[in-house]
Amino acid sequence: MALSPVPTVQQRRQKRKLVIRVIVFCICLIPLFIWLQGKLFEKDIQLPVNSNIVIFALINLNVILLLVVLFLVLRYLAELIFERKSHVMGSRLRTKLVISFLSLSLLPTILLFFVALQFISSSVDYWFSSSIEQSLQESLGLARTVIVDTEKQAAVSSDRIIKKMDTSKLEALNKKTLTPLLKQMLYLTPATIPSMLTLIVDKTDLEVTVANRGLRAIAPPRIPVQTMQQVRRSDQPESIIQNTERGELIRHVTTIDLGQPPGTSGILVTSLLINQSKLDRMNRISDGIDDYRQLIYLKDPFKFWLLLILLIVTLLIIFAAIWFGLRIARSITEPVDKLAAATKRISEGDFDFTMEESSDDEIGQLVTSFNSMTSNINTSNKQLAETHAALEQSSQESEQRRRYTEIILQNVSAGVVSLDDHGRITTINNFAAKLLRIDRSKFIGITYREALPREYTHILDRFIEELYTTGKMTIEQHLKVSINRLRLSLLINFTRLEDDEGAPIGFVLVFDDLTKIERMQRMAAWREVARRIAHEIKNPLTPIQLSAQRLRKRYPEILQEEDSVFDRCTETIITQVDALKQLVGEFSQFARMPKINKSPGDLVALAADTLVLYQEAHKHIEFTLKVEDDIPIFDFDGEQIKRCLINLLDNGVAVLSDGGKIDVELTINMFAQSVLLMVFDDGPGISKEHKLRLFEPYFSTKKTGTGLGLAIVSTIVNDHGGYIRVQDNTPSGSVFTVELPLTNSNVYARHGSDFS
C-alpha cells in the first residue's frame, strides 16, 4: 500500500538541486574560514613550531567538524522544506515537531552559549589580567632577591674574615697552618656562617679550602682563572655562582693581604650555599613566568578556539534536536500517513484491504480498530450494493415513468402550472411559458403573488378560497385576459391536490387557449355570411348595370337635356353598382382566403419596395424604414405579408389626410424567436373600446370602410402562426405590431447560407 505519493522526476530534480545548493553553500564557507584563520594568525606571535602546528590542526579540525554539522543540518532542513513544498503527507506535522524540538533546545542552548561565552571571556581575561602578571613578577623578583641577599651576606662575611684573620703569628703559610685558621674564621660569625672558605696564596698558588658539614663530601669547584686575574688586576671583589651537587654556591672573590712574609697577598673566596630545593622553586617560578608570557600571546587564539568549540557543541545540540524531532515526527507521521492513505482508499471505494500492525502501542490499537472498521464497512457495503442495485432498478423504472410523464406534460397543448401548498410555483410547462411569454427559470420557486399582476392574483385567491370553503377539488371557468397586450380567451381548470392521507400538497392550474378556436369559428361564420351575401348580391348587379347602360344608349336625347334627371339616375345606378361589385369582390376574397405558400423571402426588401410606392403616391406624408437588427431571410408568404403591410399603410394614410409621419420598423425578439414588423403613425389614435373589436370582420372606424382589411390582416398573420396587436403610440397615434415566428421555418443568413 502506498503511504504517500511517489516523487515524480521533476520533484527528484528539485530535491537534487536543493542538496547541491547546500553543498555549494558549505563549500563557499571554506574560504571564509580560511580568511578568518589568516586574520587570526596575522598577529606577531612567537610560538614554538610544534605549538603552531597543534593549534592550526585543532582549528582546522573544528572547522571541518563545523562544516560537516552545518551540511547535515542544512540538508535535513532542505529536505523538510522540499517535502513541505511538494505537499508530502505528514510534512506539516514533521515541520511543527521539528520547530517544537528546535525551540525547546534552541532557547536554553543559546542562553547557555552566551552564558558560557561570557564566562569563558571573563575567565580568560581574569587569567591574563595585569594583577596576576604583577604577582608573578613579584614572585620572580622575590626569588632573585634570595641570590642578591646571599651575595651580600657572602661579601659581609668576607669583609669580617679579612679583618679578623691574623697570619702574623703563623710560622709559615702552608696548608697545615692555614687550615685551622680558616676553620676558625668559618665559625667567626654564627649568624652568617659561610658554607665554604677558600684561600689561594699568590706566590705559591697554595689553595686551602674548608667547608661545613654539608659540603665536606663534595669537591669544591675551581675558581675561574679569568675571575682571579680580574680581581687581582682591579683589586675589586667579584661574585660568581657555581653549581654543585647540593645546590648553587654564591662565591665572593676578593684579594687579601697575608703579611707573612711582608708583601704576600692572596685570594679569599667566601662561599654560601643555596639549597637545590630553593633553586627548584626559583626555576619553577621563572619557568611559570616564561610560560605565562608565552600564553599571553595565545590569549585571542585561545578565546577563539574555545568559542569555536562552544559553537560546534551548540550546533551539535541543535542538530541533535532537529534529528531527534525528525525521528519522532517520522515515527508519528508514518502510521498517520498509512492511515491517511487507507482513508483515501476508503473514500475511493476500496474496502477490501487491511493495514499491517507495526506496533502494539496506541497507534497499533488504532490500526486494529481501523481494520475492524474497514471489515465491517466492506460487509455493509456489499449488502448496500445489493440493496442499491434493487433500488436503482426501481429508481430507473420510476425515472422512466417520470420522464414519460414530463414529456407528456411538456408537449401537451395546454398550459400547466403547479403550485405547492404555500403558493410557490414548482412547474411550468413549455406551452404555458410560450403562451405567457416568460422565462421559466425566473419564476420557479417564487409565489404566484410575486409572479402575477394584482388583478390576476385576486382571481387565484378567489379560486383557492372557493376550493377550501366549498370542499370542491376542481374549479373550471372561462376567462378573457390580456397578456403582454394580447387579448386571450382561456379555459381555466384549477385543481386542489391531496396526498393519500388527505393532506393538501398544492394546486394545478391547467388552461387551454381558446383564442384561435373562437377566432376561427367567427371567421368561418363570417366567411359563410360573406359567401352568401356575395352570391345573393352578385346575381342581380349585372342586369341592373346593363339595363342602366342600355337606357343611356337607347335615349341619348334625354341625356342631352339640361338638368336631366334621367342622366343623374342612370349614372348613379351605374356608379353604385360598381361600388356594390367591389364590395362583393371583397366579400368573395374574404370568403375564399387562399392558402399561404411559404418560401424564403427578404422581409427588409419587401418593406422597402412597398414604402417606395407610398412615398411617391403620398407626398404629404413622411415614410421611414428602420431596421434595428440583422433580419435574416426566412420562410413566409411574400404576397400575403405584402398585402398585410399595404392594409396597415392604407389605414395609416387614411387617418393622416392633413399630413404626418408613418414609420415602419423591423426588429428581432430573441426571447420569442420571432421577427417584429411594426407600423407607427402619429394620427389621432384608436380608443380602448375599438381596440377590442378592431380585428373582427365588418367592424370599421371609417365611414366608408368595409371592416374587412384588418380582419384579412389578422387571418394572414394567424395562418403564419404569428400575432398582431395594436397599441398607443407616444405622444399620439397607433402602433400595429405583426409578430412572425422564426421557429418551424427555414432561416438563412442574408448572404444565403444557413443561419441556424
Contact 695, 648 (CB under 8 A): no
Q: What is the pLDDT of residue 140?
A: 66
Is 415 exposed, middle or buried (CB count within 10 Å of its CB: 0-12, 13-18, 19+)?
buried
> If pLDDT is split at 50, 70 and 90, which confidence band does 664 have?
very high
> If pLDDT is split at 50, 70 and 90, which confidence band does 694 have?
confident
Q: 384: which 3 cell numbers?
A: 448496500
pLDDT at 44 over 50: no
pLDDT at 511 over 90: no
Q: What is the pLDDT of residue 399?
A: 80
Q: Can you tell me the mean pLDDT for 448-473?
A: 81
Q: Read off the pTM.
A: 0.34
Q: Can you tell me the mean pLDDT for 648-673?
A: 86
For residue 666, the cross-strand partners are 627, 677
pLDDT at 658 over 70: yes
Q: What is the pLDDT of residue 4?
A: 42
What is d(CA 732, CA 366) in angstroms, rounded to the nearest whole number? 86
CA 270 from centroid of its chain's CA atoms: 102
526-566 confidence digits (pLDDT tens): 665 666 666 556 667 667 767 777 777 777 777 666 566 77
Q: Give the best-scoring range by mean pLDDT among 362-366, 657-661, 701-705.
A: 657-661
Q: Which of 548-562, 622-636, 692-706, 732-746 has the lowest mean pLDDT?
A: 692-706
CATH architecture observed for domain 412-513: 2-Layer Sandwich (3.30)
Q: What is the pLDDT of residue 6?
A: 47
DSSP secondary structure code for residue 495 in this structure? E
57-80 confidence digits (pLDDT tens): 656 666 666 666 666 667 767 777
Domain boundaries, the chain: 14-127+298-332, 150-288, 412-513, 519-591, 599-748
What is d(CA 162, CA 327) in angstroms, rounded to the nearest whole number? 92
Q: 367: which 3 cell numbers?
A: 490500526
CA distances from 610 to 241, 326, 357, 361, 593 (A): 153, 91, 93, 97, 22
621-622-628-632 Cα dihedral, nearest 10 degrees? 60
Pairing of strands 660-669, 621-627: parallel
Rg of the Cα trace of the chain? 69
Does the structural domain 150-288 have CATH classification 3.30.450?
A: yes
Residue 268's nearest CA partner among 284, 249, 253, 280 is 253
Q: Can you tell me the mean pLDDT for 115-140?
A: 71
CA 684 from centroid of its chain's CA atoms: 67
In order, the DSSP letters of 301-336 are HHHHHHHHHHHHHHHHHHHHHHHHHHHHHHHHHHHH
pLDDT at 2 over 50: no
Q: Can you tell me the mean pLDDT for 629-635?
A: 86
- Average per-residue pLDDT in the chain? 75
pLDDT at 48 over 70: no
> If pLDDT is split at 50, 70 and 90, which confidence band does 9 have?
low
Q: Which of 119-123, 273-277, 406-410, 514-518 has the lowest mean pLDDT?
A: 514-518
Residue 675's nearest CA partner among 574, 604, 605 is 604
pLDDT at 756 over 50: no
Q: Which residues contact 253 (CB under 8 A, 6 or more apart)?
A: 223, 227, 228, 231, 237, 238, 239, 240, 267, 268, 269
Q: What is the pLDDT of residue 753?
A: 37
Residue indicated by cell numbers 337606357? 551
pLDDT at 718 over 80: yes
Contact 220, 200 (CB under 8 A): no
Superfamily designation of domain 599-748: Histidine kinase-like ATPase, C-terminal domain (3.30.565.10)
pLDDT at 125 over 80: no
Kind and range of the H or E run holding 651: helix 638-655
> If pLDDT is split at 50, 70 and 90, which confidence band does 147 have?
confident
Is 86 exposed, middle or buried (CB count within 10 Å of its CB: 0-12, 13-18, 19+)?
middle
Q: What is the pLDDT of residue 750?
A: 56
What is d(CA 439, CA 667) in angstroms, rounded to the nearest whole number? 20
Q: What is the pLDDT of residue 16?
A: 64
Same fold, 150-288 and 599-748: no
Q: How many CA atoms lie within 13 Å of 415's alpha carbon, on the beta-carbon side?
A: 21
pLDDT at 218 over 50: yes
Q: What is the pLDDT of residue 1?
A: 38
CA distances from 379 to 374, 382, 742 (A): 9, 5, 60
What is d(CA 370, CA 492) in angstroms, rounded to the nearest whole number? 63
Q: 31: which 3 cell numbers?
A: 574560504
Contact 314, 113 (CB under 8 A): yes
Q: Can you tell me the mean pLDDT for 673-693?
A: 84
In order, the DSSP letters of 602-625 are -HHHHHHHHHHHHHHH-TTEEEEE
Q: Can you tell me the mean pLDDT for 275-295?
A: 73
Q: Higher confidence at residue 521 or residue 176?
A: 176
3-state secondary structure of 172: coil
Cβ neighbours around 463 below 10 Å, total: 19
Q: Which of 34-38, 100-104, 169-173, 212-216 has the lowest mean pLDDT?
A: 34-38
pLDDT at 347 over 70: yes
Amino acid, res. 263: G
3-state secondary structure of 7: coil
Residue 351's nearest CA partner among 342, 363, 338, 359 is 342
What is d(CA 258, CA 179) in angstroms, rounded to the nearest whole number? 14
CA distances from 557 to 145, 554, 575 (A): 193, 9, 21
Total residues found in the chain within this entry: 756
